[in-house]
Amino acid sequence: MGLRSAVIVFPGSNCDRDVAVALEQSTGQAPAMVWHKESDFPEVDLMVLPGGFSYGDYLRCGAMAVHSPVTREVKRRAEAGVPTLGICNGFQVLTEMGLLPGALLRNADLDFVCRDVHLRVENTQTLFTHRYASDQPIRIPVAHHDGNYYADETTLDALADNGQIAFRYVDEEGEVTSGANPNGSLKNIAGVFNASKTVLGLMPHPERLSDPQLGGNDGRPLFDGLVEALQ
């Protein structure tokens, strides 16, 4: 039996099918697609909150999704240790749920940014990132208007000390520069873990470059790595 996964689908999610394709490619079986009104769903090894614009980004990105029936169950399971991945809007939802520290603000230059970026994997000793090398920048697309990571100084220091920074925006040579930062994120942070490294949120979209036919494959080790770690 392969890795069992679930993709949580909110009204306004639009990367749910993309991530389902990437998951099926790596796990060998289609994920359960779980609609936001479900208050329960089958037992799974991995939960994924996809990108998109849940509830039209009303009030704040991710704010309304927190109060969906399904989200209570996602939170319960994530707190019990079920690995959880949030991509783009999914990352915003995880911060609003309080499962990940910090918040995502409007991009510093106010533009919607949609292009490939380079990332450095800051912690390769996790379920999600063990297939990556820390000295090898990866290329993954971003597509967001509100990806400007913010946390207060104390939280930023704690994230660094605990290995909770997952990815940082870098240039092609792997250097953290302001020019490589697409949205103004503090410390160029593109993704963070919770304290136990079982929850990951990131703004870039690994599912969009998980097949060479799509122009790149740097997203795939994340999904393959999860399969290897969780089976």
Residues lying near another protein in the complex (CB under 8 A): 59-60, 63, 66-67, 95-96, 101-103, 105-110, 148, 150-151, 184
Smallest separation, CB 161 to another protein (Å) = 19
CB 25 within 8 A of CB 224: no
Measured from the CB atom, the residue of 84 and 95 that comes closer to another protein is 95
Classify burial at 217, counting beta carbons within 10 Å of its beta carbon; exposed 0-12, middle 13-18, buried 19 or more: middle
Residue 178 C-alpha from the chain's centroid: 22
Smallest separation, CB 1 to another protein (Å) = 39
CB 198 within 8 A of CB 127: yes
Smallest separation, CB 55 to another protein (Å) = 12
Measured from the CB atom, the residue of 67 and 76 that comes closer to another protein is 67
Measured from the CB atom, the residue of 91 and 132 that comes closer to another protein is 91
CB 182 within 8 A of CB 147: yes
d(CA 167, CA 198): 15
Catalytic residues: 88, 205, 207
Residue 195 C-alpha from the chain's centroid: 15
